[in-house]
Structure 1
């Protein structure tokens, strides 16, 4: 929700009109609307006055949005961390994230990121299953019956844990450009 844009439109102003009437630059109005960041100091005072609001009331709207975003971010972090359950519970990396995603998917943000995380985990299970099925064949044909199935399993588990850690780091940095796989199961 773009707060300044919504208030401006409800008040019946264009960006150009608001800039002229407040003395703020058009660029400032555009930046505030696109970033959805709380205006500070003089800008907050001028906009509050123009919109017939107390500065604290305008600030409060940004605080509400910020707390909602933090709640959504926490939900995504929980979805990501619930993947670790696969270490002790088969398919835990799919079951628990789906439960958490389903409970919080009314948020478009959580829905999109949660889908990406779950889709990646489904692909991971498919690849792991194929590798585990192929490893005895590869072992017999090329490695003179050396049992590699546990090595494959261990390597795939480590890979998935690394992906969870990388995703957690990106979430901490507010970087949501991860796990964009071309295949979508949900």
Structure 2
């Protein structure tokens, strides 16, 4: 929900009433709310008067929202990169992200993205465990003198590293539509 909409609803105004009281067009109010856009100049002054606050106070609220969103994005990136702990800790790809997610999930956004990352890692670990269990039996028939377990393990680790890096690149570009798998464990 946009900041202007929150303040407007807290003040008890509809969009139409706010437009009428402020002298701004209804379209301006709708645009500010839909794009969560910070008002500037005359619009900032008029809205501040209607809401009974100083223009600097309204600007400060927008600044705090921007800082909060940046903090959320950083938390999500950290959860994603913590998956790499599986390289040194068995099931670290679940344990460390889970700890970070629990610590930072007060935000709905961080909660949802953390769940996506952890759910993917649970599925990855389950599939890898199954593959490691069956690979010695299959390996005997296909590759008689080769230890297939190490090949499976190496390939799975490589795939997971690629997925983590790809996700990190998307998150860096503020593309949060990642690892959206319908199967959920948490």
> Would you call these one fold, judging by a TM-score over 0.5?
yes
Give me the CA root mean square deviation: 1.7
SS of residue in 1 equivalent to 2:133: helix
**CA separation of 1:134 and 1:27: change in aligned 2, threshold 3 A:** farther
Distance 2:47 2:78 in 1: 38
Distance 1:74 1:104 in 2: 10
* 1:91-145 C-alpha deviation (Å, 9 max, x unpaired): 1111111111111112211111111111111111001111112222221223334
Farther off after superposition, 137-146 or 114-123: 137-146
**Structure 2 stretches lacking a partner, 5+ long:** none
Distance 2:135 2:19 in 1: 66
Q: CA deviation at 1:29?
A: 1.4
2:141 corresponds to 1:159: no
Distance 1:47 1:10 in 2: 14
Alignment of 1:56-67 (within 5 A): 56-67=56-67
Farther off after superposition, 61-70 or 36-45: 36-45
Aligned to 1:123: 123
Distance 1:107 1:152 in 2: 37
TM-score of the aligned structures, taking structure 2 as reference length: 0.91
2:33 corresponds to 1:33: yes
Distance 1:47 1:106 in 2: 30
* 1:135-183 C-alpha deviation (Å, 9 max, x unpaired): 2222122333433222211111111111111111121122111111111
Aligned to 1:99: 99
Distance 1:96 1:6 in 2: 35
Aligned to 1:146: 146
Distance 2:91 2:106 in 1: 24
SS of residue in 1 equivalent to 2:81: helix
Aligned to 1:132: 132
